[in-house]
Structure 1
Amino acid sequence: MADGTARLPPAVRAGEDRFGAPREFLNGRFTCKVSARDTNGALCIYDTYRFRPGGPPQHVHFAQDEWFLILEGEFKFQVGNETLVLQAGDSILGPRGVPHAFRSMTETARMMIAFQPAGTMEAFFAAELLDPLSREFKELSRQHGMDVVGPPLGA
């Protein structure tokens, strides 16, 4: 700004999206809380609401760490060879280069997900919803720095 102060991003209220455009993706709604545009690409954070059990296929990020904080419900995670069940207050890191997947285990659930660096995750979540087992989903993942390496986690 002209007076030398940086323009800060606005507060994002509970249940709202940073840009007023929450996304439906796989089994839930994703609301952006911190955008890559706010951090010069260093970070993006999503609040995710899960409407039914399920999750993405096992995947690996080539250049991003993915961090999860469980807010409500119960989630099963596989990171590398380790499988854990996490509940509200628990967190786990999916380091770049390590295959990981998760599955919401309860009818409704909620967790925060952070990507560092942000990469093109916002564009990935804005894409048309595809069957996560399809070749098109695998190609979309590759376009955004990920590789699908296995099926979604079972119950």
Structure 2
Amino acid sequence: MDRRLFLQFPLFASALISQAHSQDNQPPKKGFKIEGNKDRYQEELLIMGGQFDCKISSKDSNGELLIYDTRREEKGGPALHMHHNQDEWFYIISGEFIIKVGDDTFNLKSGDSAFGPRKIPHAFAKISEGPAQMLVLFQPAGSMEDFFHQMAKLGKGVPKDQEKT
């Protein structure tokens, strides 16, 4: 065997393996519909004081995007936290929320949105009476979808709900 070919073979094999793995993780080749108040995979994720329905899975976008629709009955939300690799965007459908991003605090109502950049501590809490609904988007998705599934196994109140952020 030619020495140059022998030395190039590992690079070629690595490229083939990488291509095969990326083909396994390709997003769908067509659109899809998810009905209102339904989860992409018909799962029930009750965590952090709310119901989280996956609308766009990280599997749909090859890890680039994750969108949850969260419906909440009780006041409160998750404790102050941060994501090292994901930006997070909040869009209020109904009700009122308070969103803390770094040193800024925003009061949001229907139609309002807020952006939480990666590596900046943030939190949200429902502050209105009655039901409320919010879209939460993560970009890139990273391992956030797995995180939500692991949290759901721990129970709907974990981590402890916070009334104000």
- Shorter-chain TM range is 0.7 to 0.9
Name the aligned partner's letter for residue 133 of structure 2: R
1:52 and 1:153, CA in 2 relative to 1: closer, same or farther beyond 3 A? closer
Q: Does 1:111 align with 2:149?
A: no
Q: In 1, Cα distance between the equivalents of 2:52 and 2:76?
A: 14
Instruction: Quote the residue 1:55 is aligned against.
Output: 77
- Work out which of the residue numbers 123, 131, 137 in structure 1 matches 2:146: 123
Which of these two proteins has the greater Rg computed from alpha carbons? 2
State the 4+ residue runs in structure 1 displaced beyond 6 angstroms. Answer: none
Name the aligned partner's letter for residue 132 of structure 1: P
Q: In 2, Cα distance between the equivalents of 1:51 and 1:30?
A: 12
Equivalences for 1:18-33 in 2 at 5 Å? Answer: 18-33=40-55
Name the aligned partner's letter for residue 113 of structure 1: V
Q: Tell me the secondary structure at the aligned position of residue 40 of structure 2.
A: coil
Q: Report sequence identity in percent.
A: 43
**CA apart distance, 1:9:** 4.5
Instruction: Quote the residue 2:159 is aligned against.
Output: 132
Equivalent residues, number: 133
Specify which structure has the higher proportion of strand: 1
Q: Tell me the secondary structure at the aligned position of residue 57 of structure 1.
A: coil
Task: Provide structure 1 residue ranges, at least 5 long, that are not aligned to the other structure.
Answer: 1-5, 134-150
Name the aligned partner's letter for residue 110 of structure 1: Q
Q: In 1, Cα distance between the equivalents of 2:61 and 2:119?
A: 23
Q: Tell me the secondary structure at the aligned position of residue 146 of structure 2.
A: helix
Q: In 1, Cα distance between the equivalents of 2:163 and 2:123?
A: 7
Q: Does 1:8 align with 2:12?
A: no
Name the aligned partner's letter for residue 121 of structure 2: P
Residues 68 and 92, structure 1, Cα contact 8 Å, conserved in 2: yes
Give the alignment's TM-score, normalised by structure 2.
0.75
Give the alignment's TM-score, normalised by structure 1.
0.80
Q: Does 1:100 align with 2:119?
A: no
Q: Tell me the secondary structure at the aligned position of residue 74 of structure 2.
A: coil
Instruction: Quote the residue 1:36 is aligned against.
Output: 58
